[in-house]
Amino acid sequence: MSIQYGVWRMYALVDGNNFYCSVERVFRPSLTGRPVVVMGSNDGCVIARSNEAKALGVKMGEPWFQCRHLEKDQGLVALSANFTLYGDMSERMMTVAGSFAPRQEVYSIDECFLDFAGMPGGPGSLVETGRALREKVLRWTGIPTCVGFGPTKTLAKLANHIAKSAERKPGSYPEQLAQVCNLGELADEVRRELLVKTEVKEVWGVGPRIGAQLNAAGVSTVLDLVRLDPAAVRRRFSVVLEKTVLELRGISCLTLEDAPASRQQIMCSRSFGRPVLEMEGLVEALSDFAARAAEKLRKQENLAGAVHVFITTSPFRKEDRQYSRSVTVPLVRPTGDTRVLVSAAILALRAVFKPGYRYAKAGVMLMELQPESVHQAELDLGEPEPGTVPRDRSKLMSAVDAVNRRHGRGSLMVASAGLATARREFVPKQERRTPHYTTSWDDMPVARA
Ligand SMILES: [Mg+2]
């Protein structure tokens, strides 16, 4: 079967290699070549692994206590997640990558799609572009990436998987495809070989569950999947999988999100380093979460129409009495004002708080988001209603955001969020976090000759 790809579309998927670990290595080059893992949620389990850690058999999501022995035996280095640093480095990587194509969709913290439609290019030139992109991202940010090209997003993802595997596991794919792979320019026979070599679960959107169902139906390689009748796939599985098959055949069904639908919620939640018993502690934690969420909200230029709050005890502490509640407070008018959002969160907390429990986690979710630019017309009849955002307030909020950006998170905050930060009562356990090298003056790395 010959698969003809159109030439009128071309996507790239740029992906940071072992992103969190690579970012840590930028500032601690001594970690290069050593097995490194990054731990999430109170240093509980592994959320990122360097190639060397993968080679030691450390699994994604593995609880730390299960691989802790590798620290002594194999020199495994474990770090607490430093999301402030990862977020900032991600922005830098995306800016550099985005300069290579007219359109970009940032897909996750370490992945973006680029749309090369309409760009001039002859045979081989995209691979050249991909190499130049890798080189520039590496030189400007220190982050190694792999680049996959294809005439559809699904094929670009697949090309990226091939580029990454060819680099990490020599022999898995032809070595000339390592780091940069363009599925669109390969000869039919070569491409076919690649599709035979790749398991169906590696395809974007297939995953382990549908992968197992496909395997049970005798579909084990990507080529098997490509050969299925799309209409039959829709009947037996889903429209989504039908689109995947079409995309693998080079028929583009998924385009870049030009204007990504404004995200529907903003969540800020955390497990506490140790249980919180008093209302006061929760007020402080939730005020801080609401303020952080409000800052993200304003960055997206959105307003929230409702505030959702939850508090819960730890289901893992079987000896504790269990309690968990959530409540949503609708706002009179959508707002981006930290003070209104914090007040709503506290109001919600007062409605659900019960004394006598050991609270382990709480969170704030801002809901019913809408663009700031959509104004609800209203007659100005004297005093502003509570919850409205007159011009001076949005100026105040911009000023608060600017100060916190420049001088570090928490430099200016709503008073109810203040004490907890000082007492570190709800700060998650992060015993091995590296400094905020790129976002805090105090943490700036110092180079010595
Ligand atoms: Mg990655």
The Cα–Cα gap between 61 and 239 comes to 31
pLDDT at 314: 85
Which CATH code for domain 1-198?
A: 3.30.70.270
Where along the chain do its domains lie? 1-198, 266-374+384-417
pLDDT at 120: 65
Contact 85, 437 (CB under 8 A): yes
pLDDT at 393: 61
Which bin fits 78, alpha (ψ -120 to 50), beta or left (φ > 0)? beta
Q: What is the 3-state secondary structure (H, E, C) of 305-318?
A: EEEEEEEEECCCCC
Position 268 confidence tier, pLDDT thresholds 50, 70, 90: confident
Main-chain dihedrals φ then ψ at residue 328, nearest 5 degrees: -115, 130
pLDDT at 308: 87
Helix or strand run (H / E) with residue 52: helix 51-55
Contact 178, 163 (CB under 8 A): yes
| pTM attached to this predicted model | 0.65
For the record, the structure tokens of 277 come out as 């018993």
pLDDT at 310: 87
124 CA distance to ligand 1 middle (Å): 25
pLDDT at 421: 44
pLDDT at 74: 93
pLDDT at 408: 66
pLDDT tens string 345-364: 999 999 899 999 999 889 89
15 CA distance to ligand 1 middle (Å): 5
Main-chain dihedrals φ then ψ at residue 292, nearest 5 degrees: -65, -45
Position 423 confidence tier, pLDDT thresholds 50, 70, 90: very low
Position 121 confidence tier, pLDDT thresholds 50, 70, 90: low
pLDDT at 257: 66
- The three-class DSSP label of residue 204 is coil
Residue ranges of E strands in 243-346? 266-276, 302-313, 324-335
The Cα–Cα gap between 387 and 397 comes to 14
pLDDT tens string 223-262: 999 999 999 999 999 998 999 999 999 998 888 764 344 4
pLDDT at 221: 97
284 CA distance to ligand 1 middle (Å): 35
Position 71 confidence tier, pLDDT thresholds 50, 70, 90: very high
Which CATH code for domain 266-374+384-417?
A: 3.30.1490.100
397 CA distance to ligand 1 middle (Å): 34
Q: Is the pLDDT of residue 416 over 80?
A: no
pLDDT at 424: 44
For 39, other C-beta atoms within 10 Å of its C-beta total: 25
Position 263 confidence tier, pLDDT thresholds 50, 70, 90: low
pLDDT at 205: 85
292 CA distance to ligand 1 middle (Å): 26
Order across the sheet with 145-150: list the strands.
103-108, 111-115, 11-16, 145-150, 180-182
Mean pLDDT, the chain, whole residue set: 85
pLDDT at 261: 42
Domains 1-198 and 266-374+384-417 share a fold: no
Q: Is the pLDDT of residue 217 over 90?
A: yes
Residues, Cβ < 5 Å to ion ligand 1: 15-16, 19, 110
12 CA distance to ligand 1 middle (Å): 14
- Which of 111-120, 235-244, 278-287 has the lowest average pLDDT? 111-120
- Which of 36-40, 57-61, 171-175, 403-407 has the lowest average pLDDT? 403-407
Contacts of 220 (CB under 8 A, 6+ apart): 199, 200, 214
39 CA distance to ligand 1 middle (Å): 16
